[in-house]
């Protein structure tokens, strides 16, 4: 049976590289997700009440891809790997969500962009989408004028460095970055999925934040919807200079 664990601010619930032998579900409080490398640490986003942590590592058998640390006191439910799998078998909504995420990850993300489900080309009709730089660093590269998105999918990524090659589909918007990289070569995509306009993270190293909701490898969702009006997108974790405003009209 799953157990409860209380934590206080500053507690580390698991570390990047640890074995993925249990899953957490936040009951209360707030946790931050941190990705570390030999050069720097990056805060990717926050996880709060009702959200899962570590579920994909258990499903896929991979070590922890990030460190999770408490920013306030609270409580999590702790599920062993078997307890979590039992929970999935009895929760159709959770099972469907995991199946969708696995189906995306088992196909190479590049393949999904080129010809996979949810990435069919759409010429926009009756809707307008513009993309604007929100930070000085990004504005210095792509300018201050809105970029009109005339068709979907629309991919944003990083200019390859050194001997890196382009991904199979070249991003529609290429942005320069320098080490330690915040951006991945194909970072996020604006697309229609299930008749909804969404931003999807493309398996990037540091994830994407959409209107305050972190998505990507270390979080419970890979996509987030775009709403009418202005949408704030941060590529590369909290505090990244690669901040966009996507306007939908």
Tell the CATH topology of 3-106: Jelly Rolls (2.60.120)
Read off the pLDDT of each residue in 86-107 and give the average, rounded to a whole number: 79
- What integer is the mean pLDDT of 205-231? 94
Q: How confident is the model at residue 203 (pLDDT cuts 50, 70, 90)?
A: confident
Is pLDDT of 111 > 60? no
Segment 172-191 shows an average pLDDT of 94
- What pLDDT shows up at residue 236? 96
Please compute the mean of the pLDDT values over residues 21-44 and round it to a whole number. 93
Q: What are phi and psi of 245, to 5 degrees?
A: -115, 120
pTM of the full structure = 0.86
Q: What is the CATH number of domain 115-248?
A: 2.60.200.20
Examine domains 3-106 and 115-248 and report if their fold is the same: no
Higher pLDDT, 215 or 113: 215
Distance set, CA 148 to CA 64, 127, 152 (Å): 39, 11, 11
The SS3 of residue 100 is helix
Least confident piece of the model among 20-24, 35-39, 63-67, 232-236: 35-39
pLDDT (0 to 100) of residue 94: 85
Q: Where are the domains positioned within the chain?
A: 3-106, 115-248
163-167 — which CB contacts under 8 Å span 24+ positions?
167/110, 167/113
Q: Is 236 in contact with 185 (CB distance < 8 Å)? A: no
More confident residue, 97 or 68: 68
pLDDT exceeds cutoff 50 at 214: yes
Interval 127-161: pLDDT, tens: 999 999 999 999 999 999 999 999 999 999 999 99
The chain-wide mean pLDDT, for the chain, equals: 89
Q: What are the two backbone dihedrals, phi and then psi, of residue 68, each rounded to the nearest 5 degrees?
A: -120, 125
- Classify 141 as helix, strand or coil: helix
């Amino acid at each position: 049976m799953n157990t409860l664990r209380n934590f206080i601010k500053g507690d580390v619930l698991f570390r990047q590289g640890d074995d993925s032998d249990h899953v957490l579900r936040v009951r209360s409080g707030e946790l931050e997700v941190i990705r570390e490398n030999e050069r720097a640490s990056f805060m990717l986003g926050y996880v709060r009440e009702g959200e899962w942590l570590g579920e994909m590592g258990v499903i896929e058998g991979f070590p922890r891809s990030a460190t999770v640390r408490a920013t306030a006191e609270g409580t999590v439910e702790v599920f062993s790997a078997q307890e979590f799998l039992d929970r999935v078998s009895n929760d159709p909504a959770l099972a469907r969500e995991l199946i969708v995420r696995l189906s995306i990850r088992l196909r190479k993300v590049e393949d999904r962009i080129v010809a996979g489900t949810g990435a069919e080309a759409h010429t926009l009709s009756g809707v307008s989408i513009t993309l604007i730089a929100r930070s000085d660093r990004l504005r210095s590269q792509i300018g201050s004028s809105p970029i009109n998105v005339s068709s979907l999918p629309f991919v944003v990524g990083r200019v390859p460095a050194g001997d890196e090659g382009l991904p199979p589909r070249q991003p529609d918007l290429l942005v320069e970055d320098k080490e330690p990289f915040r951006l991945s070569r194909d970072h996020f995509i604006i697309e229609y999925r299930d008749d909804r306009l969404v931003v999807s993270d493309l398996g990037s190293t540091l994830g994407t934040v959409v209107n305050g909701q972190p998505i990507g490898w270390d979080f419970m969702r890979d996509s987030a919807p775009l709403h009418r009006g202005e949408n704030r997108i941060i590529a590369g974790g909290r505090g990244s200079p690669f901040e966009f405003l996507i306007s939908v009209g």
